[in-house]
Amino acid sequence: MESYTEQIRTLAVDLLKSGKVDVVIGYRKGSVPMATVPFMARTPEQAKQLTWDSHCTLNLANYLTNRQEKIGIIAKGCDSRNIVNHIVENKINRDQLHIIGVPCKGMVNPKELQALLDDKIVSYSESGSTLTIASSQAEIKIEREDHLRDNCSLCTHRNPVIYDDLVGEVVTEPVLDDPFKDVNAIEAMDTDTKWNYFDDLLDGCIRCYACRNACPLCYCPTCFVDESDPQWVGKGQNETDIKTFHFLRAFHCAGRCTDCGACEAACPMDIHVRAFTRKLIKDSKELFGWEAGLDISKRPPLDTFAPDDPNDFIK
Amino acid sequence: MMASLLEHMGMEKDRVQFSWISSAEATKFATVAREVAQSVEALGPNTKFVKGSD
């Protein structure tokens, strides 16, 4: 992955120097180990701060909404699918973009890595697929594949679907035996167990809206939870309001969610927010044969009408 | 998909029903309304997504 960083920097510097783009959106190292932050490089000098490792978990398509300038953007599989979403939904023009595609090998779950050591991780490095984490007391080496984020281990679109330059080689797309095991497990529960499952799931929610803010799909100028006239949903810690927020936010992502996991990466309370969107991803696939963000010429299923749309639910 | 997500989240299936009835289909309207009322009555009072019930 170090070579990825070098290639990304070279491409970004060239793009900025030649004036092809005004800004390159990528990641740079965060202030603590195992953290990256989204970064907008506006000069070739700044572009040298760009980086790539197994912690580039936020979705950069989130930073494209309604931008006017020419933009270079680093895109792994899921980011590229969200860029397609943005183009289809007229939030950005394809002509404005120079997409630097990065075939993704999956991002790791930092909380899982931290759990491997008793003390706080103070240094992190990676070489190929081997990650080295160290606290003040111990140092261990682990394999990336064993500690992927949940959504990355379920990902079947690791290669960018749209790009102008490609960093590194195309990776083999995994084939999953049972991609919706998690959703099926919830579907198998009875009604009240389901209700309680989601009650427990949302137990820690503090309504910080980090999931919404990190989500590239949530670009409404005023989110329904922030509206005051009419006030669609209460603003407090009432359980019903919390559940209404998560239910509706998820539904707004129906047929659009790429399972990029930015919501969960952003959640300070470690809530499995994807439990909602995963069901919608499964339904989109089963009802409409649809996976979001794969084709720039197709609109999402809930945005269009086709005579053969499933309508068994209508009496 | 919305009904499916609600069901997934633990709402009873029959609480949310959809129908397409033209203004000229009075009989169908009455029949559907009766069916909806019956199935909801069978489920009893709703406590989910009701503020103050939790």
Nearest-CA distance B1 → chain A (Å): 7
* pLDDT tens digits, one per residue of B18-30: 999 999 999 999 9
Rg (chain A; Cα; Å) = 20
* DSSP character at residue A302: G
- Domain residue ranges in chain A: 2-107+148-303, 109-147
Does the pLDDT value for residue A312 go beyond 70? Answer: yes
Residue type, A21: V
Q: What is the pLDDT of residues A83-142, one digit of tens each?
A: 999 999 999 999 999 999 999 999 999 999 999 999 999 999 999 899 999 999 999 999
Give me the residue from B10, B19, B53 closest to A191, CB to CB. Answer: B10
**Residue found under tokens 């330059």:** A165
Sheet with A139-143: list strands edge to edge. Answer: A123-127, A130-134, A139-143
Distance (Å, whole) CA A49 – CA A58: 17
pLDDT, tens only, A289-308: 999 999 999 999 999 999 99
**Which residues in chain A have their CB less than 8 angstroms from residue B50's CB?**
240
Structure confidence by residue, pLDDT tens digits, A218-274: 999 999 999 999 999 999 999 999 999 999 999 999 999 999 999 999 999 999 999
Give me the residue from B1, B51, B53 closest to A254, CB to CB: B1
Yes or no: say if A5 and A52 are a contact pair by the CB < 8 Å rule: yes
The distance of A112 to chain B (nearest Cα, Å) reads 27
Cβ separation A251–B54 shorter than 8 A: no
